[in-house]
DNA sequence: ATCAACGTTTAT
DNA sequence: ATAAACGTTGAT
C-alpha cells in the first residue's frame, strides 16, 4: 500500500524534484479501473486477463536492483517517490510466467504438466495462454484439436490458440503477453534513444541467434521454420523496404485499424505481418544454398538428420551461421567496392527480392503444421553456461514442451517471430529455396510426416526423439541502431590509417599477455550468426594483412596524423540500425548437451562429448561455426561457453543484432569490439547482459558508444581498453569513472563502476593529469596502465600516479608510456616509489635516455633487479 | 498486510 | 513516440 499512497506521493512531490510531474494529475485514478474493466471485457470470452509475473529464475530475476536506473531511482528504497512502480531495468524478467493462480478456462484447473512424463502430454496438460484472445487453457481441454495452435517460444506458455489461429488471426500479434520490456520502458537499455537519426533507422532484423537446440528433435520442419522466417521476412519487407525510415510504423499503419481495435492488447505490439495474405508460392527463388558444403564422410555418418537436412537448417542457429557463410559468397561480389553500400545492399536487396515470397510465407506457414515461433532459447549455449537463466522451471518445461509440442500431433505451428530480422528471413528464404523448394510444394501433411520422422523411426510418435527444433530466436529483436555512423565518420579522419591499429600498440610493444592476448587465436569469432560468419570472412581478407608498421616516433598527436598513426580507419559502413528494443534474449537451453553423437546406424560415435570438445577447442571460431551446422549435437557442443571465452569482433564494420545475441548466448569473459562501429545502445545492451565480463576492448570506438559504460555496470570488469577512442578526454574520463552522483546522501555509493579495473588502456587519448587523478582515486586495483601516445602525459603525471597515499603506487605493475614525448628521466625516479612495478615502457620517449634507464636499474638493484629488454623498455627480472 | 511490479492510461 | 503515473494483481 505504501507505494501507491497518495500521501506518499505528495510528500515526495513536494520535496523532490518536480512538484508534480505534469504528467499525471493525481486524481486520475478512475482511469485505471476503467481500463481494467475494459481490458477484461476486451478479452472477450475469456475471463480476466492474467498478468504474468517474473519467473524468478532467469538471470535478470536473479539480479539485484541496480539502484541506478530510472525505475530504481523512483523506488522509495532508493530515495525516489515510488510513483512509477516498475521493476529495475536490469531485473526485467526474460521469461515472465503465468501466475500460479492461473487456471484453465475450460476445466478450471491449473497446469498439470508435472503429472506426466511424456513431453507431448506435458504440453497438452500445461496451461497455454493465447496471445490473441488471452485465454488460458490446457490444450487438452480444447475441442478443436484439429486445428493447430501456434506456439510462441518467446514466452513460456504462450501460443496462438487453435481458435484464433483458425480464425486467421495468426500473425498479427507479434508478441505475446508479457512483453513490456523493451522500448516502453523509459530508460530502458533496450530502448535507447535513437542516437542518430542520421543513421538509418532501418530496423534491422535481428538475427536470431541460432541455437541449436538440441533438445528437441525437430519436428519442425524447415519449411515450418522457413515459413516463419518468411513471414517475418515478408513483414519486414513491408516495414523496411519502403521507406526505410519508419519501419514498424508502417506495418502498423498498414494494418487495418479494425484489428487493433478488436484486440486492444495488440495495439501495442507491432504488427508486421500485415501482408501476409497468401500470395502463394512464388518463391522459388534465387539462390541455392549450398548447404552441403560440409559433407565429409564423417558428417555423413552422423545421424543427424541428414535426411531432414532441411529441418536442421531452419532450426539451428548455426544454420544461420552457415547460411551466413554462404551468403557471404554472394556478397563478396558486391562488397569489394564499398562496404557501406554493400551492407545496405545486402540487406536491402534481399528484402526486395523477397517481397513476393513474403506473402506467400504465410501461406506456407499455415500450411505447415508445425511451425515454431521463436525458439531461440533452446539452442545454444550449451551447457550450463549462460548466466541467463532459463526461465523458470516452466521454461525448462517449456523447452521440453516445446519439443513435445512440436511434435505434437496437433501440429502446432510456430509462430513466426515477427521480429526476425530481415536477414534472418532472407536467410531462411534462401534455405528454403535451396532446401525445400521441393518440399514447400508439398503440403503440410507431407511435411509433417516428413519432419516427424524421428530420427529414430520407431519413436517417431513419441516425440522424444523428435524434439522440436528450436532454433533461433526468431524474435524480433531489434538491434539498436548504430548510432552515429556519422560520428564515426567524422572522427575517423583524424587518426587514421591503419588498420593495424587494432593492435594499436603493437608496434611499439606487444602487449604483455593481457588476458585477451592469450586467446588470440580464438578471438575471431563468430557467433555463429550469419553476420558473424560474414564478418569472419571479411576479416580474413582484410585483416590478414598485418598491421602496417609505422614508426611510433613519427607519430605526433598534434600533428595531423600521418599514416603512421595507429588508429585504423573504422569501417564506415553505416551501420544499419539495429533496433534492440523488444529484443528479448532467450535463455540458453536448460537441457544438457548430448553426450554422444548419434550415427546413422543408431549407434553412437565412439567419441564422447568431452573428447569432441577437446577437438573443438583447437578450432578457430570460424570453424566452430561451420561445425555447428553439422548436426544438432555438434551444434550444441560447439556453442559451449568454454569455446567462446573470448569473442572478438575487432574491426567488424557493422555489428548486427545477430552478433549481439550470439555474444550474449555465449557469455564471453572477454569481448573485443575494437574498431567497430558499435553504438552506445548496442554496447549498453551487451554489457548489461554480460555480467561476467572481465575484459572489454573498445579501442577505436566512438566516445558516444563508450559512454555506455557510464550508465551500465560491469562489476567484474578487469580489463578496459579505450585506446584511441575519439572524443575521450578528461571530461569523458570523469563521466566514465565517477560514481553516480545522484544517489541520495544516505546511500551514496562512492565507488566507481569501474572500480575493479586492473588493466586500463588509454593509449592515444588526450587526457591530462586530471584524468590520472580520477584514475588513482577510483581504480584502486589498477596494475596495468597504458598511456602510450598520450601527449599530455608528463613527469608530473607519473608523479601523481606514484604519489604517496595512492593505491596505484603499490598496485601498479605495468606502465606503458611509450611515445609520450613529454616524459623524461624524471619519471623513472618516480617509479622507484612503486613497490610492485615490473614493467616500464618508455620506448620512443624522446626525452628519456638510456642513461636514465641505466641509472634506474642501478638504483633499483638494491631491492629489485631490472633489465633493459629493449631500448627504454625496462622489465623486472624475475 | 505488505511489497513488488504489470499493463495500461495519460501527459507531454 | 515516449515517459510518467497508477490501479490492480501477484507473491509472500
DSSP string over A315-364: H-HHHHHHHHHHHHHHHHHHHTT-HHHHHHHHHHHHHHHHHHHHHHHHHH
b/e per residue A181-216 (b: at least 16 CB within 10 A): bbbebebbbbbbebbbebbbbbbbbbbbbbbbbbbb
**Distance (Å, rounded) from C-alpha A540 to C-alpha A534?**
10
Q: How high does pLDDT run on average in chain A?
A: 58
Q: Give the residue with greater pLDDT, A143 vs A111.
A: A111
Q: At A426, is the pLDDT very low, low, confident or very high (cuts 50, 70, 90)?
A: very low
Nucleic strand C near CB of residue A51 (< 7 Å): yes
3-state secondary structure of A538: helix
Q: Pick the more confident residue, A661 or A860.
A: A860
Scanning every strand, the nucleotide with its C1' closest to A21's CA turns out to be C4
* Highest mean predicted confidence (pLDDT) among A87-91, A144-148, A506-510: A87-91
**Of all protein residues, which has its CA closest to the C1' atom of B6?**
A51
Name which of A684, A743, A737 is nearest A89 in CA terms. A684
Contact A532, A324 (CB under 8 A): yes
Q: Judge if the beta carbon of A26 is closer than 7 A to nucleic acid strand B.
A: no
pLDDT band at A473 (very low <50, low <70, confident <90, very high): very low
**Which of A771, A816, A821 has the alpha carbon at shortest distance from A504?**
A816
Per-residue pLDDT tens for A446-467?
333 332 222 233 232 223 333 3
pLDDT band at A144 (very low <50, low <70, confident <90, very high): low
How do residues A681-698 score in pLDDT, each as one tens digit? 788 878 877 878 899 999
Instruction: Quote the Cα angle for A42-A43-A44, to 5°.
Output: 85
Nucleic strand B contacts from chain A, 263-292, CB < 7 Å = 264-265, 268
Dihedral of the alpha carbons of A752, A651, A190, A9, in degrees to the nearest 10:
20
SS3 A695: strand
Q: Which of residues 79-98 of A touch strand C (CB under 7 A)?
A: 81, 83-86
Q: pLDDT digit string (tens) for A581-590?
A: 333 444 445 5
CB burial of residue A168 (10 Å; 0-12, 13-18, 19+)? exposed
- Confirm if A727 and A486 have CB atoms less than 8 A apart: no
- Cell 526461465 found at: A391
CA of A581 to C1' of C8 (A): 27
DSSP H helix total and E strand total for chain A:
35, 15
pLDDT digits (tens, 9 = 90+) for A147-163: 677 887 767 888 888 87
Q: Given pLDDT bands bounded at 50, 70 and 90, which one contains residue A741?
A: low
CA A374, chain centre distance (Å):
15
- Give the mean model confidence (pLDDT) for residues A759-786: 94
Rounded distance, CA A532 to CA A529, Å? Answer: 5
How confident is the model at residue A784, as a pLDDT? 96
pLDDT for residue A749: 54
What percentage of residues in chain A have a pLDDT greater than 90?
16
Residue A192's closest CA among A573, A655, A579? A579
Percentage of residues in chain A having pLDDT higher than 70: 44
Domain spanning A644-739+752-876: which superfamily? Answer: Ribonuclease Inhibitor (3.80.10.10)
A39 CB contact with strand B at below 7 Å: yes
Domain A608-643, second-level architecture: Up-down Bundle (1.20)
**Residue A315 in contact with residue A346, Cβ under 8 Å?**
no
A752: left (phi over 0), alpha (psi -120 to 50) or beta: beta
Q: Which CATH code is given to the segment(s) A53-170?
A: 3.30.40.10
Q: Report d(CA A802, CA A815) in Å as an integer.
A: 11
Which protein residue lies nearest to nucleotide B2, measured between its Cα and the C1' atom?
A: A1
For A71 and C10, how far is CA from C1' in angstroms? 19
Q: How far apart are CA A519 and CA A536, in angstroms?
A: 16
Whether A259 contacts A167, CB under 8 Å: no
- Whether the beta carbon of A186 falls within 7 A of nucleic chain C: the reply is yes
Window from A52-61, A211-220, A702-711 with minimum mean pLDDT: A211-220
Tens of pLDDT, residues A569-584: 333 333 333 333 333 4
Distance, in Å, from the CA atom of A364 to the CA atom of A320, rounded to the nearest integer, reads: 20
DSSP per-residue codes, A88-153: -GGG--SS-B--TT---TTT-----GGG--SHHHHHHHS-EEETTT--EE-GGG-S-TTSPPEEET
Sequence-ordered strand ranges (E) for A599-669: 646-648
pLDDT-wise least confident of A164-168, A649-653, A721-725: A164-168
Q: What does the alpha-carbon distance between residue A422 and residue A428 come to, in Å, rounded to a whole number?
A: 9
Cβ contacts of A735 within 8 Å, gap of 6 or more: A707, A710
* Bigger pLDDT: A790 vs A553: A790
Looking at residue A664, what is its pLDDT?
Answer: 80
Cell (9 digits) for A130: 493465447
Q: Nearest nucleotide, C1' to the C-alpha of A30?
A: C7
Domain ranges (residues) in chain A: 53-170, 608-643, 644-739+752-876
Q: pTM for this one?
A: 0.46
The span from the CA of A203 to the CA of A500, in Å, is 32
Amino acid at each position: 500500500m505504501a507505494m501507491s499512497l497518495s500521501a506518499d506521493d505528495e510528500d515526495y512531490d513536494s520535496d523532490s524534484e518536480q512538484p508534480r510531474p505534469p504528467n499525471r494529475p493525481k486524481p486520475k485514478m478512475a482511469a485505471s479501473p476503467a481500463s481494467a474493466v475494459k481490458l477484461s471485457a476486451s478479452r472477450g470470452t475469456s475471463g480476466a486477463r492474467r498478468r504474468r509475473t517474473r519467473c524468478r529464475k532467469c538471470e535478470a530475476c536473479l539480479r539485484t536492483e541496480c539502484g541506478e536506473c530510472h525505475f530504481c531511482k523512483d523506488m522509495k528504497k532508493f530515495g525516489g517517490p515510488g510513483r512509477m512502480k516498475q521493476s529495475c531495468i536490469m531485473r526485467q524478467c526474460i521469461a515472465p510466467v503465468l501466475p500460479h493462480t492461473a487456471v484453465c478456462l475450460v476445466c478450471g484447473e491449473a497446469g498439470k504438466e508435472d503429472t506426466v512424463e511424456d513431453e507431448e502430454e506435458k504440453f497438452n496438460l500445461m496451461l497455454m495462454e493465447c496471445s490473441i484472445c488471452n485465454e488460458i487453457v490446457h490444450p487438452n481441454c480444447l475441442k478443436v484439436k484439429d486445428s493447430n495452435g501456434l506456439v510462441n517460444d518467446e514466452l513460456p506458455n504462450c501460443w496462438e490458440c487453435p481458435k484464433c489461429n483458425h480464425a486467421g488471426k495468426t500473425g498479427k500479434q507479434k508478441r505475446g503477453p508479457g512483453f513490456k520490456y523493451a522500448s516502453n520502458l523509459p530508460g530502458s537499455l533496450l530502448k535507447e534513444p535513437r542516437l542518430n537519426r542520421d543513421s538509418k533507422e532501418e530496423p534491422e532484423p535481428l538475427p536470431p541467434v541460432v541455437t541449436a537446440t538440441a533438445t528437441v528433435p525437430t519436428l519442425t520442419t524447415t519449411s515450418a521454420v522457413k515459413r516463419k522466417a518468411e513471414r517475418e521476412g515478408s513483414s519486414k519487407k513491408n516495414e523496411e523496404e519502403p521507406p526505410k525510415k519508419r519501419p514498424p510504423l508502417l506495418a502498423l499503419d498498414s494494418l487495418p485499424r479494425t484489428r487493433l481495435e478488436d484486440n486492444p492488447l495488440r495495439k501495442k505490439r507491432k504488427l508486421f505481418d500485415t501482408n501476409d495474405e497468401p500470395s502463394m508460392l512464388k518463391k522459388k527463388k534465387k539462390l541455392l544454398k549450398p548447404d552441403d558444403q560440409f559433407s565429409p564422410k564423417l558428417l555423413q555418418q552422423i545421424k543427424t538428420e541428414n535426411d531432414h537436412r532441411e529441418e536442421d537448417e531452419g532450426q539451428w542457429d548455426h544454420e544461420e551461421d552457415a547460411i551466413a557463410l554462404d551468403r557471404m559468397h554472394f556478397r563478396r561480389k558486391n562488397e569489394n567496392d564499398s562496404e557501406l553500400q554493400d551492407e545496405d545492399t545486402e540487406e536491402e536487396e534481399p528484402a526486395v527480392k523477397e517481397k513476393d515470397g513474403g506473402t506467400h510465407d504465410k501461406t506456407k506457414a499455415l500450411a505447415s503444421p508445425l511451425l515454431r515461433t521463436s525458439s531461440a532459447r533452446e539452442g545454444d549455449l550449451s551447457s550450463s553456461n549462460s548466466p541467463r537463466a532459463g526461465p523458470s522451471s516452466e521454461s525448462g518445461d517449456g523447452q521440453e514442451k516445446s519439443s513435445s509440442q512440436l511434435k505434437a500431433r496437433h501440429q502446432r505451428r510456430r509462430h513466426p517471430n515477427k521480429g526476425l530480422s530481415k536477414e534472418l528471413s532472407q536467410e531462411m528464404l534462401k534455405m528454403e529455396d535451396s532446401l525445400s523448394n521441393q518440399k514447400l510444394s508439398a503440403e503440410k501433411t507431407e511435411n509433417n510426416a516428413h519432419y516427424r520422422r524421428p530420427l529414430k523411426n520407431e519413436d517417431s510418435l513419441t516425440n522424444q526423439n523428435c524434439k522440436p527444433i528450436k532454433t533461433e530466436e526468431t524474435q524480433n529483436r531489434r538491434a539498436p541502431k548504430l548510432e552515429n555512423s556519422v560520428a564515426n565518420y567524422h572522427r575517423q579522419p583524424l587518426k587514421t590509417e591503419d588498420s593495424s591499429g587494432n593492435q594499436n600498440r603493437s608496434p611499439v610493444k606487444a602487449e604483455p599477455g593481457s588476458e585477451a592476448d592469450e586467446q588470440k587465436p580464438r578471438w575471431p569469432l563468430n557467433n555463429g550468426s550469419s553476420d558473424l560468419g560474414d564478418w569472419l570472412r571479411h576479416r580474413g581478407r582484410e585483416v590478414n594483412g598485418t598491421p602496417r608498421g609505422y614508426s611510433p616516433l613519427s607519430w605526433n598527436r598534434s600533428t595531423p596524423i600521418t599514416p603512421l598513426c595507429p588508429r585504423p580507419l573504422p569501417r564506415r559502413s553505416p551501420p544499419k540500425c539495429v533496433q534492440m528494443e523488444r529484443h528479448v534474449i532467450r535463455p540458453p537451453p536448460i537441457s544438457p548437451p548430448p553426450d554422444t553423437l548419434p550415427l546413422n546406424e543408431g549407434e553412437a560415435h565412439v567419441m564422447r562429448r568431452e573428447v569432441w570438445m577437446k577437438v573443438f577447442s583447437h578450432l578457430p571460431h570460424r570453424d566452430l561455426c561451420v561445425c555447428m551446422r553439422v548436426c544438432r549435437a555438434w551444434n550444441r557442443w560447439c556453442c559451449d561457453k568454454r569455446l567462446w571465452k573470448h569473442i572478438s569482433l575487432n574491426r567488424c564494420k557493422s555489428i548486427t543484432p545477430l552478433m549481439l545475441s550470439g555474444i550474449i548466448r555465449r557469455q564471453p569473459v572477454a569481448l573485443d569490439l575494437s574498431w567497430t562501429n558499435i553504438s552506445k545502445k548496442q554496447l549498453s545492451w551487451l554489457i548489461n547482459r554480460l555480467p561476467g565480463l572481465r575484459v572489454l576492448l573498445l579501442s577505436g570506438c566512438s566516445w558516444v558508444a563508450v559512454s555506455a559504460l557510464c550508465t551500465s555496470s560491469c562489476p567484474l570488469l578487469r580489463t578496459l581498453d579505450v585506446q584511441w577512442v575519439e572524443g575521450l578526454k578528461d571530461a569523458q574520463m570523469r563521466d566514465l569513472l565517477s560514481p553516480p552522483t545522484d544517489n541520495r546522501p544516505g546511500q551514496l555509493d562512492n565507488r566507481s563502476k569501474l572500480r575493479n579495473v586492473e588493466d586500463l588502456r588509454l593509449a592515444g587519448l588526450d587526457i591530462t593529469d586530471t584524468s590520472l587523478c580520477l584514475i588513482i582515486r577510483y581504480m584502486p586495483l589498477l596494475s596495468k596502465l597504458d598511456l602510450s601516445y598520450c601527449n599530455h602525459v608528463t613527469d608530473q603525471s607519473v608523479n601523481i600516479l606514484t604519489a604517496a597515499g595512492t593505491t596505484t603506487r603499490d598496485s601498479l605493475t605495468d606502465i606503458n608510456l611509450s611515445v609520450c614525448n613529454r616524459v623524461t628521466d624524471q619519471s623513472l625516479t618516480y617509479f622507484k616509489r612503486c613497490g610492485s612495478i615490473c614493467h616500464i615502457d618508455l620506448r620512443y620517449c624522446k626525452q628519456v635516455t638510456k642513461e636514465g634507464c641505466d641509472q634506474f636499474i642501478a638504483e633499483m638493484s638494491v631491492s629489485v633487479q631490472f633489465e633493459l629488454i629493449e631500448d627504454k623498455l625496462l622489465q623486472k627480472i624475475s
